[in-house]
Amino acid sequence: MEAPLTLRILYTYNIRGNLAWLPRLYTALEAHSHSEGIDRVIKVDLGDSCAGDVWHCAETEGRSALLALDAMGFTAARVSLSPA
């Protein structure tokens, strides 16, 4: 019988387009992703990753958050452009 796999689910919420957070967030997520004993990691964003008053969110209608989250290895994201 095979040993069971260990799954870790990491999530973010309320990033609100703050690009300054992303390098540290990425580092923290990667550290948790490569912990010993973890076989699979799923990264998801639960929403509010963009804000209407942030220029890159407004100009791309929230797509800038998807690009950043995808580059960070997220599996799924709920992107909605919250009001300013």
Quick: pLDDT tens for 53-67. Answer: 999 999 998 899 999
The pTM score is 0.81
Average pLDDT over residues 35-47: 90
The residue with greater pLDDT, 36 or 30, is 30
Question: Domain for residue 63, yes or no?
Answer: yes
Cα 27 to chain centroid distance, Å, stands at 12
* 37 belongs to a structural domain: yes
Residue 24 lies in a domain: yes
Number of domains, the chain: 1
Question: Does 8 map to a domain?
Answer: no
Dihedral over alpha carbons 18, 60, 66, 72 (to 10 degrees): -50
Domain carrying residue 26 = 18-82
- Whether residue 3 lies inside any domain: the answer is no
